[in-house]
Structure 1
Amino acid sequence: MELRNRKWDLDYFNQIREEVLKMWPTGAEVDLEEAVAYQKEIPAHKRFKDVLARAKKEGRTLIQPRAGVALINEHIDLLKYLQDEGEADLLPTTIDSYTRQNQYEEAQRGIEESRKMGRSMLNGFPAVNHGVAACRKVVESLDRPLQVRHGTPDARLLAEITLAGGFTDFEGGGISYNIPYAKDVSIEKTLFYWQYVDRLVGLYQEKGVEINREPFGPLTGTLVPPSISHAVAILEGLLAAEQGVKNLTLGYGQCGNLIQDVAAIQTLEELAIEYFNKFGYTDCQLTTVFHQWMGGFPQDEAKAFGVISWGAVTAALAKATKVIVKTPHEALGIPTKEANAAGLKATKQVVNMLRDQSIEDTEKLLIEKEMIKKEVRAIIDRVLDLGEGDLVQGIIKAFQAGVIDVPFAPSRYNLGKILPARDNNGAVRFLETGNLPFDAEIKEFHEAKLAERGQVEGREPSFQMVIDDIYSVGKGMLVGRPR
């Protein structure tokens, strides 16, 4: 059967579901009707969709950390600390790497080793192994909405267990949790896997439980041009909506130039509304998430707080619905709970101070917004052409042709012909556009911006600029200037 962008027939879904729930013994704990009943008992202040909707209406930017450890009680203690001491508005559960690769036996060994050693030997929470009851224990122990954050190409069983366990938000998508994370997983496979996840969320919706879905915005990090991440986020959102998802948070990762980042968050929502309306998905609630700096961090904690605060400023001025917060230990490894809470408190202070401030529609901001929109429309409209109206086939063919191309991605299903670099003001531009469907006007805009930097630095725009930009923030600057 050729994969199409069509809402799954319930009989077909249930046929696949039988196989999914047998992937690990805890799948037998899932009872959809009982899970729906459990979800309906979760109060509004612990539901992602309600908290996000209220924040958007009030013009507030919510803060959310990343966090997860191997054992149940320790995971609860960590999240309680981030809730109470870190003042987090929303809470995560970051999933361990073995679970992300569906290596549940290895995850089980990690749990057992963690018990023996008295500390987490996994880099996240193995929700599949712990099962539905354990997830509910986590949910019931906390007073904030909980989201599953992971990086899993095949997240079907993870979704089944965590949604039955009371989580009200599930992150990821068939592009954003494949291309940046996996080398040998085909686009067809992950689009199929994530159609299942979205159909599951759609089933909860049909039964009266609204789950928020969040495609992963940053993709491969801080040098991803806004039009690339926007196109992916909107396409994943449209695929989810076709399966019945009604609540979506679309994301973007900080690039570093304030004007470009504000323009990016604003255009992400504007373009999403445009395309959702075009496809007839007019009853979806759309919100935005801004990811603080996803690149290299300074090792010095004081300098790291500067990077964190800059991300907080940008999120607040862009009016993102929420911001994913980094810690001052980013350059050092897994952060302590104290460091994680410190990043949260620094961010909350900034977003609260800037809540009533905004950036005016200056000429520079309007130019950035218009260019982002032109680029995104060029990509998505070409995807539609390639698929002859079918998004799934269009996406598959677009990756084959390089019409969608994610810089620095490990996937062999990604063409890898585009190269980004910063212009003289630190905005991310295209050094090489590869096979992206851009017209002469768009290409000339990027060439002129990079030529301006080259003149200032006395060098031709080249791959060396890309390398310099990758390491620049860790060395204290945004633009990677030559010494």
Structure 2
Amino acid sequence: MNSGSGGSVPVRSVPAVPLPLSPARGRFSRFVRRSHEQGGLVVQPRMGFADTATMRRGLEAVRAVRGASIGTVTVDSYTRVNDHDSARRALDRGDDLNGYPVVAHGVQETRRLLTGVADDDFPVQFRHGSALPRELFGALARVGADATEGGPVSYCLPYSRVPLPQATAAWAECCRILADRPETMHLESFGGCMLGQLCPPSLLIALSVLEGMFFREHGMRSISVSYAQQTSPEQDLEALAALRLLAAQWLGDDVDWHVVLYTYMGVFPRTPVGAYRMLEDSVRLAVRSGTERLIVKTAVEAYRIPTIEENVDALEFAAAVAADERRAAPVGGAVRQTGIYEEALQLITSTLRFGDDVGSALVGAFAHGYLDVPYCLHQDNANRSRAAIDPGGTLRWFDPGAMPLAASDGHGSAPVTARSLIDMLGYNERRFDREQLVGAAVRGML
């Protein structure tokens, strides 16, 4: 399906697909729609602190950002695995957790966190990473949260040892918990971010769309589909166009949906300028592709968890770059075509043959290797597929395993070894840091 490395690459003009009209639009989606229609890119951090005072200060700082911003409350590791007793003991001892323990804090405390901060002009999303989030989702529904995220596959395979059938059944129940709320709650698929890197775009797109279909099947009507920045801006632009077209085709007219892009989630550059260059590239990609929302990273990602101030700096930098890009280049236009749309479509349609509903189809497709995340060691993942970065920076299938895809022409001669895998994991780190160091050297010679 792919064109390979030789010859010309076809280019097709793909118009931007407008956000769908839907009556089921909660506060989160209304804000994203309004910002998009006004020409703004919504920027959002990945921020979480254990104590309510610090978490509230973080939300207030993000709300004051110059630009359209959404707040984030990232939960802690104990909550992700439903160890709420340990989270409560940690709070009692004053331990520094790596996020906000929603269940341990309780509904009233979390409501106090949001009161006076979250509103129509500043929705807040709770981010978690849990394969079995029933208790968390119950708390979020009682709190009146605007949005959360994850998925039956995307928060099971890379993060947990929970069997995929169990996670899928749990997520079906969790969707119904959220769907039963009087006010529409937003649910974002994390499927476009599987393992953060070295997963070719067609599988990321297919998983995100399939999870969106799963959410819809279980009552959700406000959804976002995701994609993580990879190693080639041209490939990413094609991938985002394909994601938008497939979401429009498969999510239905009764779903209010948008696209969210993640700044690269793999090994980050170690120089501050290199890190900001990577963030800048993701912002420009978001604007050029017509993406509505961007999850940003900071310049210290390679070293530690960022402070509130560092998150704000990254958000304001992203908002400024987005404004500059909108002035410099129109949204939409021609993108190259290497078969990403066709691959993703094949993965979606072949998956749906494995069950009468999306959940059972996902479980069946993974059981037969028709969905297979490369380098993922989960017990329900075949782990036969392999991907590689070609010399031009494009992420391709070296071996698709049992998936109904073809290996990329001209890129299957050398096996992926431990050394080459490590080299690929550091590809963007070296690329952006090298640009910074080469630029410094050139300036020193002048």
Task: Report SS of the residue matched to 2:99.
Answer: coil
Task: Report SS of the residue matched to 2:298.
Answer: coil
Task: Report SS of the residue matched to 1:248.
Answer: strand
1:372-387 residue pairs with structure 2 within 5 A?
372-387=340-355
Residues 48/176 of structure 1: CA separation in 2 closer, same or farther (3 Å cut): same
Q: State whether residues 156 and 193 of structure 1, in contact with CA within 8 Å, keep that contact through their aligned partners in structure 2.
A: yes
> Could you tell me the TM-score, scaled by structure 1's length?
0.79
> Could you tell me the TM-score, scaled by structure 2's length?
0.86
Q: State whether residues 50 and 96 of structure 2, in contact with CA within 8 Å, keep that contact through their aligned partners in structure 1.
A: yes
Q: 2:439 — aligned with what?
A: none
- The whole-number CA distance in structure 2 between the counterparts of 1:88 and 1:111 is 33
Q: State whether residues 141 and 177 of structure 2, in contact with CA within 8 Å, keep that contact through their aligned partners in structure 1.
A: no
Unaligned runs of 5+ in 1: 1-43, 115-119, 455-459
Q: 1:5 — aligned with what?
A: none
| 1:92 aligns to 2:72 (yes or no) | yes
Q: 2:140 — aligned with what?
A: 162
Q: State whether residues 269 and 433 of structure 2, in contact with CA within 8 Å, keep that contact through their aligned partners in structure 1.
A: no
- The whole-number CA distance in structure 2 between the counterparts of 1:393 and 1:83 is 41
User: In structure 1, what residue type is equivalent to 2:368?
Assistant: A
More deviation in 215-224 or 318-327? 215-224
User: In structure 1, what residue type is equivalent to 2:85?
Assistant: E
User: In structure 2, what residue type is equivalent to 1:185?
Assistant: V
Show structure 1 runs of 4+ deviating over 6 A. Answer: none
CA deviations 1:102-125 (Å, max 9, x no partner) are 0011111221222xxxxx610000
Percent same amino acid at aligned positions? Answer: 28
Aligned residues: 404
1:224-239 residue pairs with structure 2 within 5 A?
224-239=199-214
CA deviations 1:447-481 (Å, max 9, x no partner) are 33x37xx8xxxxx46434433110122233599xx
| 1:252 aligns to 2:227 (yes or no) | yes
1:70-219 residue pairs with structure 2 within 5 A?
70-85=50-65, 87=67, 89-114=69-94, 121-143=96-118, 144-182=122-160, 184-204=161-181, 207=182, 209-216=183-190, 217-219=192-194
Q: 1:298 — aligned with what?
A: 269
Tell me how far 1:391 sits from its aligned partner: 2.1
Unaligned runs of 5+ in 2: 1-24, 435-446
Q: 2:34 — aligned with what?
A: 54
User: In structure 2, what residue type is equivalent to 1:142?
Assistant: V
* Match for residue 334 of structure 1 among 290, 293, 305: 305
* Match for residue 447 of structure 1 among 406, 409, 425: 409
Residues 254/140 of structure 1: CA separation in 2 closer, same or farther (3 Å cut): same
Q: 1:275 — aligned with what?
A: 250
| 1:355 aligns to 2:361 (yes or no) | no
- The whole-number CA distance in structure 2 between the counterparts of 1:85 and 1:291 is 19
1:429-440 residue pairs with structure 2 within 5 A?
429-438=396-405
- The whole-number CA distance in structure 1 between the counterparts of 2:397 and 2:318 is 31
User: In structure 2, what residue type is equivalent to 1:339?
Assistant: E
- The whole-number CA distance in structure 2 between the counterparts of 1:145 and 1:169 is 8
Residues 52/85 of structure 1: CA separation in 2 closer, same or farther (3 Å cut): closer
Q: CA RMSD in A?
A: 2.1
Residues 311/420 of structure 1: CA separation in 2 closer, same or farther (3 Å cut): same
Residues 435/307 of structure 1: CA separation in 2 closer, same or farther (3 Å cut): same
- Structure with higher helix content: 1
User: In structure 2, what residue type is equivalent to 1:358?
Assistant: P
Q: State whether residues 256 and 478 of structure 1, in contact with CA within 8 Å, keep that contact through their aligned partners in structure 2.
A: no
Task: Report SS of the residue matched to 2:194.
Answer: coil
